[in-house]
């Protein structure tokens, strides 16, 4: 085997984790290559994950908004949309993203190599191209950013044309009138909102006793209430016994003895790391049973010139975090002893309809940790901007220390929650006493805005302390 080219660093996978690392290394003058097995760049994030699901959701939520807005009556009402309609918008966004990302690599002199990467040894990678051509390249350092894929239990027939996962649902062959979504994690809840918004009958099967149990219970309850109110049937504490695909639909038998029928099924219960093709055993790395690798705080694996970021290292498995992990990892590779870390409070954005976002502690965590806290709430329906914009469903909940007034957690439910949260997050990160709810009371907000919810919630919370 002949090594064709020698690089300072090679990044495997062009999702947000790989992109963050490759860009940072290239900007600091390293000779970098990125290997991607898919025919275009951007990773699962761009092609099957974050971007398409958010684009689909956007179209559906606009449809709902128009249909519920008293301004749009009669002929002004849009016709109903199909999955194929909203997919066209998503595909347009994917194309723009791919083009933009390809430009980044070109402008920063990152060499893009297409093919499946695997380790020969800790400094040599084999690349198998789609036509079978094999190339070997040499490198001083490697970043593994190969992401994850939907988990496939052996007893579910994913080759059946009515049974989908979150990747294949984007090539849905039938416009369903009904769908069973198995798994009520973030992906399951987001797709439940999308399909229900299109008028599809949705059965959402949750293997646990409440939705998204990592959320503040009040927010998780609000999500259940609104999904149910919009017509989603949620079944908690259910697991499948058997899933059968037929010519014209699917049947799911639950362990509790129920039989559910639908036009198709989306299996969205768990993910596995993309590890197998890498042959990491050739360098002595041992993934866990979910195909994930263990790393240090600066993303170094047990092999000191090999690093790993993004979904392949597990929690939090977010595009937002993967990009920053890539940048931190690159700093460690360039300088060593990198002290930079991800922010301790990573915000969560959940793009259900309505949207959810949170940062910091939940009420349940504060109770368990015996922290003296108080709650301030703002209902969107009381905000002028929400009334004007037809966004009255939702609320902002501020949790703060009863004595110091330090902001400890923010939980937002309603349209634009994922944007609104960042105001509070910025305050939580202030040092020297700048992180208290007093900020929201003493500052002047634009009027009318959704951001005003912070002031309303802070005043509400301070009143409770005084009471």
Site string for ligand FAD, 38-67 (x = CB under 6 A): x----xxx---xx--xx-------------
56 marked as part of a ligand binding site: no
Q: Quick one: how far is CA 271 from the chain centroid?
A: 12
Q: Stretches 16-24, 60-68, 368-376, 429-437: which one binds ligand FAD (CB under 6 A)?
A: 16-24
Binding of ligand FAD by 452 (CB under 6 A): no
Q: Stretches 204-212, 308-316, 370-378, 443-451: which one binds ligand FAD (CB under 6 A)?
A: 308-316
Q: Stretches 34-42, 152-160, 238-246, 447-455: which one binds ligand FAD (CB under 6 A)?
A: 34-42
Binding of ligand FAD by 318 (CB under 6 A): yes
190 marked as part of a ligand binding site: yes
Q: Stretches 144-152, 281-289, 427-435, 457-465: which one binds ligand FAD (CB under 6 A)?
A: 144-152
284 marked as part of a ligand binding site: no
15 marked as part of a ligand binding site: no
37 marked as part of a ligand binding site: yes
Q: Stretches 9-17, 22-30, 249-257, 364-372: which one binds ligand FAD (CB under 6 A)?
A: 9-17
Q: Which of 10, 30, 36, 56 binds ligand FAD (CB under 6 A)?
A: 36
Q: Which of 61, 97, 141, 166 binds ligand FAD (CB under 6 A)?
A: 166
CB burial of residue 253 (10 Å; 0-12, 13-18, 19+):
middle
272 marked as part of a ligand binding site: no
Count helices and strands (H / E) in the chain: 12, 22
- Yes or no: say if 124 and 137 are a contact pair by the CB < 8 Å rule: yes
Binding of ligand FAD by 140 (CB under 6 A): no
- Classify 75 as helix, strand or coil: helix
Distance, CA of 265 to CA of 271 (rounded, Å): 17
Binding of ligand FAD by 203 (CB under 6 A): no
Q: Angle, to 10 degrees, between the axis of helix 83-107 and the axis of helix 50-68?
A: 140
> Cis omega (within 30 of 0) on the bond before 316?
yes
Helix, strand, coil % over all residues of the chain, rounded to 5: 35, 25, 40
Strands 356-360 and 348-350, sheet pairing = antiparallel
Q: Which long-range contacts (CB under 8 A, 24 or more apart) does 422-430 make?
A: 422/347, 423/451, 423/454, 424/359, 424/398, 424/454, 425/345, 425/347, 425/359, 428/345, 428/359, 428/360, 429/343, 429/345
Binding of ligand FAD by 368 (CB under 6 A): no
Binding of ligand FAD by 187 (CB under 6 A): yes
Q: Which of 260, 278, 308, 437 binds ligand FAD (CB under 6 A)?
A: 278
| Residue of 319, 63, 351, 353 lying closest to 187 (CA atoms) | 351
264 marked as part of a ligand binding site: no
44 marked as part of a ligand binding site: yes
| H/E segment holding residue 187 | helix 186-197
41 marked as part of a ligand binding site: yes
CB burial of residue 205 (10 Å; 0-12, 13-18, 19+):
buried
**Terminal alpha carbon distance of the chain:** 77
Bridge partners for 235 per DSSP: 205
Shortest reach from residue 166's CB to ligand FAD, in Å: 4
43 marked as part of a ligand binding site: yes
Shortest reach from residue 140's CB to ligand FAD, in Å: 19
Q: Which of 203, 311, 363, 415 binds ligand FAD (CB under 6 A)?
A: 311
Q: Give phi and psi for 38, each to the nearest 5.
A: -75, 155
Bridge partners for 413 per DSSP: 356, 395
Q: Which of 31, 254, 305, 320 binds ligand FAD (CB under 6 A)?
A: 320
Shortest reach from residue 390's CB to ligand FAD, in Å: 24
Binding of ligand FAD by 425 (CB under 6 A): no
| Residue ranges at the known binding site for NAD(+) | 183-190, 270
Summarize as ranges the residues that interact with ligand FAD (CB under 6 A).
12-18, 35-38, 43-45, 49-50, 53-54, 116-117, 145-147, 166, 187, 274, 277-278, 310-312, 317-320, 322, 349, 351
């Amino acid at each position: 085997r002949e090594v064709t080219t020698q690089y300072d660093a090679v990044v495997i996978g062009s999702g947000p984790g790989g992109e963050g690392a490759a860009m940072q290394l290239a900007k600091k003058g390293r000779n970098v290559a990125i290997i991607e097995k898919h025919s275009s760049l951007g990773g699962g994030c761009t092609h099957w994950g974050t971007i398409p699901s958010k684009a689909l959701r956007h179209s559906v939520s606009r449809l709902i908004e128009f249909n519920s807005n008293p301004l749009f009556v009669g002929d002004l009402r849009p016709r109903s949309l199909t999955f194929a309609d909203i997919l066209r918008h998503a595909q347009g966004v994917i194309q723009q993203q791919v083009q933009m990302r390809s430009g980044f690599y070109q402008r920063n002199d990152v060499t893009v190599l297409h093919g499946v990467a695997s380790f020969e040894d800790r400094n040599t990678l084999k690349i198998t191209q789609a036509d079978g051509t094999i190339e070997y390249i040499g490198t001083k350092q490697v970043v593994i950013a190969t992401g994850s894929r939907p988990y496939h239990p052996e007893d579910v027939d994913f080759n059946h044309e009515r049974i989908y996962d979150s990747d294949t649902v984007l090539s849905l062959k039938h416009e369903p009138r009904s769908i069973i979504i198995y798994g009520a994690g973030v992906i399951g809840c987001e797709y439940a909102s999308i399909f229900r918004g299109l008028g599809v009958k949705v059965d959402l099967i949750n293997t646990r006793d409440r939705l998204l149990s990592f959320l503040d219970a009040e927010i998780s309850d609000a999500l259940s209430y609104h999904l149910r109110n919009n017509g989603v049937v949620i079944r908690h504490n259910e697991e499948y016994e058997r899933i059968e695909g037929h010519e014209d639909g699917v049947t799911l038998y639950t362990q509790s003895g129920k039989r559910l029928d639908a036009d198709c099924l989306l299996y969205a219960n768990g993910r596995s790391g993309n590890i197998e093709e890498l042959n990491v055993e050739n360098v002595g790395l041992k993934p866990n049973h979910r195909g994930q690798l263990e790393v240090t705080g600066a993303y170094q694996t047990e092999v000191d010139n090999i690093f790993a970021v993004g979904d392949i290292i597990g929690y939090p498995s977010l595009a937002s975090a993967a990009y920053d992990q890539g940048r931190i990892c690159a700093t460690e590779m360039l300088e060593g002893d990198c002290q930079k870390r991800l922010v301790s409070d990573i915000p969560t954005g959940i793009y259900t309809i309505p949207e959810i976002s949170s940062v910091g502690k939940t009420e349940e965590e504060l109770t368990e940790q015996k922290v003296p806290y108080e709650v301030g709430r703002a209902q969107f329906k009381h905000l002028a901007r929400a009334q004007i914009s037809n966004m009255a469903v939702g609320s902002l909940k501020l949790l703060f220390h009863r004595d110091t007034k330090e902001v400890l957690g923010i939980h937002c439910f309603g349209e634009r929650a994922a944007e609104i949260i960042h105001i509070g997050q910025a305050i939580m990160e202030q040092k020297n006493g700048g992180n208290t709810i007093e900020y929201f009371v003493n500052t002047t907000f634009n009027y009318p805005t959704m951001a005003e919810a912070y002031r309303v919630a802070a005043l509400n919370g301070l009143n409770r302390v005084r009471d």
